[in-house]
Structures are given as C-alpha cells and as structure tokens.
Structure 1
Amino acid sequence: MLDLANQFRSFSAPAMSNSFSPKTFRPGIVESQMRRTADAHDRSRPLLEVISTMPGAPIRDMVRALNSAGHRAARGGPVTHNTVARALARMGEEAPKPPRHRAPKGAKAAKTIRARAEQYEVFRTPAYAYLPLLDYRPEWFVGRGCDPSAGDGRMLREIISRGNMGPHWASDIRDEEAAKLADIGQVAVADYLTMDDPPRSDFLLTNPPFTLAQEFVERAKTHVSGPICILQSIGWQTTQRRAKWLRTAGLAHVLNLPKRPQWEVDSGGKIKSNVWDYAWFVFLPNHDGRPQMDWLSDN
C-alpha cells in the first residue's frame, strides 16, 4: 500500500506541475489582458477625438453629443457617464465636476404638506382624528370649551351635539372662518398668541400650527383651568429642547391616533400624502411626573 501511494505521488506531481506551473499559464493571461486593453483603446479612439474637442464640458453634455452623433461604447452599447469618465482617464484628464446649485432658502420647506396650505385653502381635521378623544375621557370636556385654531369649528360643534351647550369660545386668524363659527358661542378673529385676555375656559381642544404648538400650550395655561388637548405629530416630542420643556410642562397623556389623518379641504378633497403618525398631547394643571401613553380606538 505504501509503495502504491509513493507511485501515485511521483506520477501526479509532475502532471500537476506541468498543468499549473506559473511558467505555462501566466504569460498567456498577461498577453490576453494587454490585447483586450489595446482593443479597448482602439475602439474608444473615436470617442477620445470627439471628447478632446469639448474641453471643460459637463459629462452629461458629452454623453448627449456622442450618442446623438451615433457613437457607441467599446462593447457596442450606448455611451454612458462611465464611458466618458473612463475615456477622460485614458487622456489623463479628470472629469469636470458639475457646479452645485444650492436651493433657495425655504424651497425645501415649500414642498412640505403644511406649506401647501395656500394651494389647498386650509386643512380641516377629519372627524376620526378627534371623536376617539371625546369618547376616551368625556369628563374632560365639561363646562366652557375653547378652540383658538378652530377653523370651521367642527370639534367644538361635536361637543355641543353631545349635550355640552357651552357657551364655548372659538377663534381663528382667518376672517373667512367667522361666519362658520357664529353658532358656537363667542367668536374672535385674531392671533391667539397676541390677542388681549382670551376668555376663561374649562378645557381647550385644538389642532394648532405645528411650529407654534408649544406657544399655544403656554398661552392656554393663562386662561384654561382644565385639560389642554393638542393634536400634533408624534415627532413633535422628539427634539432635545422640546423634550426638556415637556418634562415640566404638565404633559399627562400621549394618546396615539388609530390611523394617520388625511386632512380635508373646503373643495371636498383630501390631502393623502400625510406620512406622519399623530397623537393627542394632553396637559393637565398641576400634573407632576411622566405622561401615560395609550392608544385611542376608532370603534
């Protein structure tokens, strides 16, 4: 058995060395690579001649000109960004960097859903965003209520339909809303944050502007003796500065909505591009401690 193994080694070693020796296969690979490189240079020579006539032009313009003139890439496909970039590298040149165009200040914000309010007149809060809150703690909504960003007054009007006749107080900054609020009680067309002496109220229920929600809460504490209910996205609580304020602001409940609101507009449509989850943030007087989190039901 040992002699057979030795014979096998003596037979297989020369065969393997003859088949896989670097002396027999590497020169062929190197020659093949050099031949492919030379062929690529030959095929790209027409491109190089055209590109050399367009010094400093953006690559996208070179690509467009080369394809329009019928030129093809080395492998027969259309000329692409990478095709031109590699050709420039062969010429020892760097691809020109396109100038950076900085968007005008506020352009990004103009694309957001809330910035489209002028296009869609004004956003209305759908009923399924506030009815679960009224069902969750009916005792919060006893006495005189107020909505300082009332819009058409639909939330206070729902409270009236449940038997709390008020009189309530509604306000909005838009003159067009005054006629729609006439049946609610006391009405004001004013900026809530700067108006003089808002009426004393037992509770507040509102969907304020996102960027002014904290200011609305602080103003409400000056004239509201009970719950202050603010509808905001859950992202409202995530900034470091606001989180520090929320710890001491009397936040007692964070009540998550069962589904994302689709804001309604007076034309009858709905804004369906809302991607934020929302919750009711409820502040109670003299509350000290961490808030309780719960999920409202739409049943």
Structure 2
Amino acid sequence: MQNTTHAVMSQRFEPKDSADDFPTPPWATRALVEHILGAETVRGRSCLEPAAGRGYMATPLSEYFEVVESADAYPYGFCQIKDFLEHPYKAQSHDWVITNPPFRLAEQFVERARLVARVGFAILARTVFLESVGRYEGIFRLTPPTIFAQFSERVPMVKGRVDPKASTATGYGWFIWLKGNEGSTTELRWVPPCRRSLERADDYRGRPSAPLSATPAL
C-alpha cells in the first residue's frame, strides 16, 4: 500500500513569519550522540536546545547530557518562551547548543550558537544547506563546520508532528562546530543506518499538536 503521509520535501517554502514547525524524530538526535559525538564526550555537560518545540529533540538529549535547557520562540506548551536570536544569553553559557532551527534562520542560529556555546554546537539541516554563495561567504569560507555528518537513511519530518510511518525525499545532515577548530577543514562522515536500533515506542507519544499562539517571543 502506498504511503500517502505528507513529509517535508526539499522544494518546501515556508512563509517568513512561519514557525517552521517540523519536529525531529528522536532517533535522529540519538544518532548524533551515539555515532558522531560519542556519549562519553557529552556526559556531565550542559546543552541548550533553543528551538525545542514540543521537545522531540530536547527529550533524547536529556538521556545523555547532565543538564538540558529548552526554549522556543513560540509557545508549544513544552518549554520556556525565548527567542534565541533576541534573548540575551551570556557568552559560553552552555557547553553545547544543539537544535533543528527554522531553515530560513539557520545562518543566524549558527552565528548565535557560536557565541553561546563553550564546547561546540550542532544544527540539523537539509543537506542543501551546504549550498549557496551567501552561506559560503557568510559562514563556510572562514568558519566551516568541524564535522558534516550525512544521514545514510532518510529522516522524515512532517509538519506539526512526528510520524513513524512518514517518508521523505529530502536528505538531512548534522553540521557540527567544535570550538577552537575555527578555520580548519571539515571532516565528512556518515551517520550509519541506525533508526531501527535507536527508535523507541514512546518516541511518538502525543504532545500539543500546534503552538498555543502564533505570536513568537520578543
């Protein structure tokens, strides 16, 4: 039977005022720690998830980090309301910043995370984030990611919810910067097939299905 679940496609465009609400399946976050960073390297560390939404990324991060602070510019009912690009976070106030930012704001999130993170920061983004002259000149030419980790299997993201039956034609990868490695070359790695081993039955439990208000935090 054909799967008709609508998943995010690479040609998707969101309005400028959109919350860009495409939650990350929890297994994709576990894959970052288990296969790229290493669970032992983040044990005892703090982490900020600044675009937490309903907590589908923050929850698995809390399985590895000692402290996970969650925030979002929109009130989803899971975490405190703070706009990452506007809130006065102190420099190096968190060991790590890890998030799936709104694609249209991903460059700004990278620059902000560079200030807030002490050890490193990582964003999950479509593979096409590697493209564009603007991003090359703005962030990749002088401060490329330390590691780019491409998923070998697809990471389905559906607007407004996580769905274990969803499919997608879009590729995703983790862009990871380790502080102190600015200006170095980028290591290309692959996230091995791991969904089956990292996915859990309660990953898709019900949560608020939409922001409680369309008004973002200031």
Is residue 22 of structure 2 the alignment partner of residue 130 of structure 1? no
Count of matched residue positions in the alignment of Structure 1 and Structure 2: 179
**Any idea what SS the aligned residue of 1:260 has?**
coil
The structure in which a higher percent of residues are strand is 2
- Residues 68-83 of structure 1 correspond to what in structure 2 (within 5 A)? none
The residue aligned with 2:145 is: 251
Counterpart among 190, 199, 203 of residue 82 in structure 2:
190
One-letter identity of the residue aligned with 2:33: L
Q: 2:69 aligns with which of 129, 145, 169?
A: 169
Please give the root-mean-square deviation of Cα atoms over the aligned residues, in Å.
3.0
Cα distance between partner residues in 1 of 2:178 and 2:116: 13
**Structure 2 counterpart SS, 1:115:** coil
1:153 to 31, 55, 63: 55
- Counterpart in the other structure of 2:99: 206
Tell me the CA shift for residue 121 of structure 1.
Answer: 8.9
Instruction: Indicate yes or no: 2:139 matched with 1:239.
Output: no
Go from structure 1 to structure 2 and tell me whether the alpha carbon gap of 1:120 and 1:160 turns closer, same or farther (over 3 Å shift).
closer
> 2: CA distance between counterparts of 1:246 and 1:261?
24
The answer to whether structure 1 residue 260 and structure 2 residue 154 are counterparts is yes
Structure 1 residues 59-90: Cα deviation after superposition (integer angstroms, max 9, x where no partner) = xxxxxxxxxxxxxxxxxxxxxxxxxxxxxxxx
- Within 2, Cα distance between the matches of 1:121 and 1:215? 15
**Contact 2:72-2:81 at 8 Å conserved across structures:** yes
1:81-100, aligned counterparts within 5 Å?
none
User: Could you give the per-residue CA deviations for residues 79-108 of structure 1, whole angstroms, max 9, x where no partner exists?
Assistant: xxxxxxxxxxxxxxxxxxxxxxxxxxxxxx
Q: Which runs of 5+ in 2 are unaligned?
A: 1-9, 195-218
Distance 1:120 1:151, change over 3 A: closer
C-alpha offsets along residues 102-141 of structure 1, whole Å, 9 cap, x if unaligned? xxxxxxxxx953538x999932111232221110222443
Which residue of 1 is the match for residue 198 of structure 2?
none
User: How does the TM-score come out when normalised to structure 2?
Assistant: 0.70
Q: Post-superposition shift, 1:220?
A: 1.1
Q: CA separation in 1, counterparts of 2:101 and 2:135? A: 16
Instruction: Classify the secondary structure of the residue corresponding to 1:236.
Output: helix
CA offset digits 1:152-196 (Å, max 9, x no partner): 22222213234x331x2111111123xx23xxxxxx302211112
Structure 2 residue 195 is the aligned partner of structure 1 residue 293: no
- Determine which structure has more spread, i.e. the larger CA radius of gyration: 1
Give the structure 1 partner of residue 216 of structure 2: none
Q: Identify the residue that residue 14 of structure 2 maps to in structure 1.
A: 115
Q: Deviations over 1:233-283 (max 9, x none)?
A: 111111122123213124100000122221145566579574221110001
Normalising by the residue count of structure 1, what TM-score does the alignment of the two structures yield? 0.53
3-state DSSP class of the match of 1:175? coil
Is the CA contact (8 Å cut-off) linking 1:261 and 1:278 kept in structure 2? Answer: yes
> Match of 1:174, SS?
coil
Alpha-carbon contact 1:264-1:270 (below 8 Å) kept: no
Give the whole-Å Cα distance in 2 for the aligned partners of 1:213 and 1:140. 25
Larger relative contact order (CA 8 Å, sep ≥ 6): 2
Q: Is the 8 A contact 1:140 1:203 kept in 2?
A: no
| Structure in which a larger fraction of residues adopt helix | 1
Which amino acid letter does the alignment assign opposite residue 152 of structure 1? R
Assess, with a 3 A threshold, how the Cα gap between structure 1 residues 279 and 269 changes in structure 2: closer, same or farther: closer
**SS class of match (1:227):** strand
Q: Work out the CA distance in 1 between the residues paired with 2:112 and 2:158.
A: 27
| Residues 1:280 and 2:180 are matched in the alignment | no
Deviation of 1:211 after TM superposition, in Å, equals 1.4
